[in-house]
Homo-oligomer: A and B are copies of this chain.
Amino acid sequence: MSLNRRFSQQKKMIKDALSLLDHPTAAEVYEEIRKDYPQISLGTVYRNLSLMAEEHEILRLSFEGSPDRFDPNVWEHYHIVCERCGRIADTDRSLQPELLSRLDGAVEEATGFRVSGRCLVFRGLCPRCREGIS
């Protein structure tokens, strides 16, 4: 049942924009590509991003109050959003596996669910925005 997917120049441009832009929305990817290739269509951007996310080639991220964002880093990792400027940073290296499995264990015990993954989004102030506040 797996379809034969072809290589396309547009898909490559989309992946490039993804790495360049850090956690962009589809519209941001579209605008970036348009600089070099104005005939790109927003539908193509959405189509490729959705397909790649389905195939786990990239991640689709959902943040409250913003359109979906996309991430070429498919390793499970987590994010923190600056509540002042909206900047998004990865928290990967900060979360020891030991801490996560204790967390999962606690959740499993309390809910009876079997945990297979997590989506952790922290909120806070980024270094730049912390200056001049206190």
Nearest CB to that of A87 among chain B residues? B113
Nearest CB to that of A95 among chain B residues? B106
**A60 on interface, CB distance cutoff 8 Å:** yes
Q: Which of A106-126 contact B (CB under 8 A)?
A: 106-126
Number of chain A interface residues as a range: 35 or more
Which B residues lie within 8 Å of A112 (CB)?
Answer: 126-127
The winner among A113, A122, A127 for most chain B CB atoms within 10 A is A113
Which B residues lie within 8 Å of A106 (CB)?
Answer: 91, 94-96, 99
Tell me if A118 and B122 are in contact (CB < 8 A).
yes
**A12 on interface, CB distance cutoff 8 Å:** no
Which B residues lie within 8 Å of A78 (CB)?
Answer: 107
